[in-house]
A and B are shown apart, each in its own frame.
Chain A
Amino acid sequence: MNAEQIGLWAGFVFTLMIFSYILGDNILYRLAVYVFAGLAAGYITLVTVEGVLLPWLRGTLLSPDAVGVGGQILGIVPFVLGLLLLLKGSPRLGPLGNIAIAFIVAIGTAVALVGAITGTLLPLAAATGSGVRIDLVNGFLIFIGISSTLVYFQYLARRQPGGEVRRGLVVRAIGALGQGVVVVTLGAIYAGAILTSLTIFSERIGFILARITGG
């Protein structure tokens, strides 16, 4: 029996251990889950070191072509920021960790902002606009659906003379339509998730049967 066959049998055993959860939480399931978490941690470490950190170090600190001391200092900066993050646990030195947090928040915010505008807002607005031109009825229905969904997600309301805060009748009516559209979307996504997991479950059952019958 070679390493690949041993691997297949190990996969068979672990699949059965995971499926034992159908009968309730048990020791076999927990063993498999802890092995899974350990392996995942190991693989994430390998990918992070080999795919991200080593190329960075080879390009900066360890590179003979690094642009002077500046290039080498640049190589250390992320590790210093990482160490500063570790200080967040200390009550006295914790504020130093805010520098690293500030750096990550700044870059993350900038990327998210640009991504939201150029990757979501503009393309979806353009697609909705062109949809109306291509198919008037369905395009218009999509436009109504999008608008009502956005109205459903807004919580601005006016204070009534009696002191009660509630949205206007028109906004509530459009919001109800939007809620319906969101519910239909979530129902379809839920059905998609069930069908996907059913497909994966069938594949696993096929794998177990193939191992047992030797196919």
Chain B
Amino acid sequence: MRRLGAVITSALVIGIGLLTVAGLVVGGDLGWLSAIVEAFRIRDISGIFLQLAVITAATTILIGILNLLVVHLRRVGRREKGWAYSLLLVISALGVIILAVLERAGVLASEPPLTTILFESVQVSIESALAGLVLFALVYGAYRLMRRGVTWPKLLFVLVLLFMLLAALPLPGPGLLASARDWLMAVPVSAGARGILLGIALATVVTGVRVLIGLDRSYRE
């Protein structure tokens, strides 16, 4: 029975995956392949598959949030360490949802809506403050980098880092630093970024093909 299940899941992945690829890739100028795609309406089918995947992903997000609330409510119920924080989290989450429901029902009416004010004033403020706090972690990380032995990649990393920070200063003069920074960004950094992206894309293609031809079956575990 377990083996039959494994065969069914593999067949589903290969079948749905290849249909979706065909629907996304095959255009109108590929001869008999295009004719098959047109005849069996594979483009429409792959469109429906994509929609179903998006809605399933949205459902899993809701399940995840529900799980988050249940875990924290359990912590509150058992008076575990830090239960007050959990209570605050649950109140914040349910508060936003209840506020939105009351607004949509027309019970609460304000311009701008309270959920918008809450989002722009509290949520965005906390997000920005956390992003600002990253500054200290980054600077401290760079400072600690050289403390565990000096190697040429570490030295090069710190030199480039310092140069880029120095070049960002509005210094007076002919702008040699700015020109050098622009060249660095346009040539070596661009090459490195493209190399990394191409590497990721090649690895994605290899893994994707392995999944679609049934060589990689980790989803059955």
Contacts and interface: CB of A to CB of B under 8 A. Distances in A.
Contact of A120 (B61, B68, B198): B198
8 contacts: A3-B110, A39-B126, A104-B57, A108-B53, A145-B194, A180-B156, A182-B196, A185-B191
Interface in A105-129: 105-118, 120-121, 124-125, 127-128
B171 interface: no
A46 interface: yes
B62 A36 contact: no
Chain B interface, DSSP helix/strand/loop, else mixed? helix
B7 to A, nearest CB: 11
A99 interface: yes
Given A56-B55, A99-B8, A113-B209, A184 B168 contact: no
Contact of B12 (A37, A99, A110): A99
Contacts of A157: none
A121 B93 CA distance: 41
B90 A38 contact: yes
Contact of B127 (A36, A41, A114, A124): A36
Given A43-B123, A46-B97, A107-B50, A184 B198 contact: no
B89 A37 contact: yes
A102 B9 contact: yes
Q: Top 8 A-B pairs ranked by shortest CB distance?
A: A145-B191, A149-B195, A38-B92, A185-B192, A42-B96, A7-B121, A187-B160, A82-B59
Interface in A12-44: 12, 14-15, 18-19, 21-22, 30-44
Q: Number of contact residues on B: which range applies? A: 35 or more
Nearest to A115: B204
Nearest to A118: B25
A196 B16 CA distance: 42
B20 A185 contact: no
Contacts of A42: 92-97, 100
A148 B132 CA distance: 35
A202 B49 CA distance: 46
A14 B63 CA distance: 29
Interface string B59-96: 11111010011000000000000100110111111111
A204 B132 contact: yes
Contacts of A111: 20, 24, 50, 53
Contact of B20 (A35, A37, A110): A110
Given A77-B52, A113-B212, A141 B128 contact: no
A39 B116 CA distance: 12
A179 interface: yes
Interface of A: 3-4, 7-8, 10-12, 14-15, 18-19, 21-22, 30-46, 48-49, 52-53, 56, 74, 77-79, 81-82, 85-86, 95, 98-118, 120-121, 124-125, 127-128, 138, 141-150, 152-153, 178-198, 200-201, 203-204, 207
B35 interface: no
A195 B168 contact: yes
A178 B24 CA distance: 34
Contacts of A125: 198
B181 to A, nearest CB: 9
A16 to B, nearest CB: 8
A35 B88 contact: yes
A145 B185 CA distance: 13
A181 B12 contact: no
Given A35-B126, A45-B62, A200-B131, A110 B199 contact: no
Interface in B188-206: 188-202, 204-205
Contacts of B57: 104
B179 interface: no
A169 to B, nearest CB: 18
Nearest to A128: B194
